[in-house]
């Protein structure tokens, strides 16, 4: 049998892990089961990644990069600020509707990582990258359209992602297409209003 290098095995094992855990959940993703999914020896997984946590980290990175790439491709080149934000939000929402299992797996891996010290860095990297890309897209849209942001782009990005994560969880748990569309429109409207200084922030009570 021809030798396959670790560099070649790496994407194969990541795909096998994604396929397996998408079907059966993170708990089923042992190195033995992932190796069997691809039809290789368990030692191949450890040789390629070192540990199961290292493989899980690679899976999170792959899922994140794939979703981000889809959204970045949808960024319009000549639209206004509001239309740009709406287009990007719609593209991201389309990934939830068309690839719900990818979002579910990312959520499961995130929860698993919260209780796994070796995956804390991967979890921070996942959310950090998503926030950074969203911040970049907001910044670029504002600069291209000459839109003066009333709030920092990072604040707008975090606000949008907080609402979007909640809406995604609702879609996975209790889907309602009509209500989801209204909520998505409301979220985008709130982001645009906040960006334009048309939303007054209430004073929060202090303890």
Q: What is the 3-state secondary structure (H, E, C) of the chain?
A: CCCCCHHHHHHHHHHHHHHHHHHHCHHHCCHHHHHHHHCCCHHHHHHHHCCHHHHHHHHHHHHHHHHHHHHHHCCCCCCCHHHHHHHHHHHHHHHHHHCHHHHHHHHHHHHHHHCCHHHHHHHHHHHHHHHHHHHHHHHHHHHHHCCCCCCCHHHHHHHHHHHHHHHHHHHHHCCCHHHHHHHHHHHHHHHHHHHCCCCCCCCCCCC
What was the pLDDT predicted at 5? 84
What CATH number has the domain bearing residue 93? 1.10.357.10
Same domain, 37 and 121: no
- Specify the CATH number for the domain of residue 33: 1.10.10
Same domain, 2 and 35: yes
- The total domain count for the chain is 2
Question: Does a structural domain hold residue 205?
Answer: no
Share of the chain above pLDDT 70, in %: 99
- Residue corresponding to tokens 């985008």: 188
| Same domain, residue pair 35 and 116 | no
pLDDT, tens only, 133-155: 999 999 999 999 999 999 999 99
Question: Does the pLDDT at position 197 exceed 80?
Answer: yes
Q: Are residues 136 and 155 located together in one domain of the fold?
A: yes
Q: Is 190 within the bounds of a domain?
A: yes
Q: Are residues 177 and 105 in the same domain?
A: yes
119 neighbors 113 (Cβ within 8 angstroms): yes
103 and 176 in one domain?
Answer: yes
| Within-domain flag for 108 | yes
The residue range of the domain holding 171 is 59-195
Q: Is residue 164 part of a domain?
A: yes
Asked whether residue 135 is assigned to any structural domain, the reply reads yes
Residue 1 has pLDDT above 50, yes or no: no
Residue 106 lies in a domain: yes
Is residue 163 in a domain? yes
Q: Give me the mean pLDDT over the 195-205 stretch.
A: 94
- Domain check: are 8 and 108 in the same one? no
| Within-domain flag for 203 | no
Range 37-63 average pLDDT: 94
**Contact assessment for residue 85 and residue 191, using Cβ atoms and an 8 Å cutoff:** yes
Q: For residue range 66-105, list pLDDT tens digits in order.
A: 999 999 999 998 999 999 999 999 999 999 999 999 999 9
Clarify whether residues 41 and 64 are in a common domain.
Answer: no
Q: Please report the pLDDT score of residue 206 as a whole number.
A: 86
Are residues 63 and 38 part of one domain? no
- Round the average pLDDT of the chain to a whole number and report it: 94
Please give the Cα distance from 157 to 162 (Å, whole number).
9
Residues 89 and 178 in one domain: yes
25 and 82 co-located in one domain: no
Shared domain check, 165 and 131 = yes
């Amino acid at each position: 049998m021809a030798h396959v290098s670790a560099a070649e095995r790496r994407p194969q094992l990541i795909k096998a892990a994604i396929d397996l855990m998408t079907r059966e959940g993170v708990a089923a993703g042992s190195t033995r089961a992932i190796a069997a999914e691809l039809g290789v020896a368990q030692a191949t997984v450890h040789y390629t990644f070192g540990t199961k946590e290292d493989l899980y980290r690679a899976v999170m990175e792959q899922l994140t990069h794939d979703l981000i790439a889809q959204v970045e491709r949808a960024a319009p080149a000549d639209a206004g600020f509001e239309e740009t934000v709406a287009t990007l939000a719609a593209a991201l929402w389309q990934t939830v509707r068309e690839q719900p299992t990818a979002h579910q797996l990312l959520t499961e891996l995130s929860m698993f990582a919260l209780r796994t010290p070796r995956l804390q860095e991967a979890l921070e990297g996942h959310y950090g990258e998503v926030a950074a890309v969203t911040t970049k897209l907001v910044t670029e849209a504002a600069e291209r359209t000459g839109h003066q942001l009333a709030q920092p782009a990072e604040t707008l990005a975090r606000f949008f992602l907080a609402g979007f994560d909640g809406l995604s969880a609702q879609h996975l748990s209790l889907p309602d297409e009509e209500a989801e569309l209204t909520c998505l429109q409301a979220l985008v409207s709130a982001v645009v209003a906040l960006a334009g200084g048309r939303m007054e922030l209430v004073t929060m009570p202090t303890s």
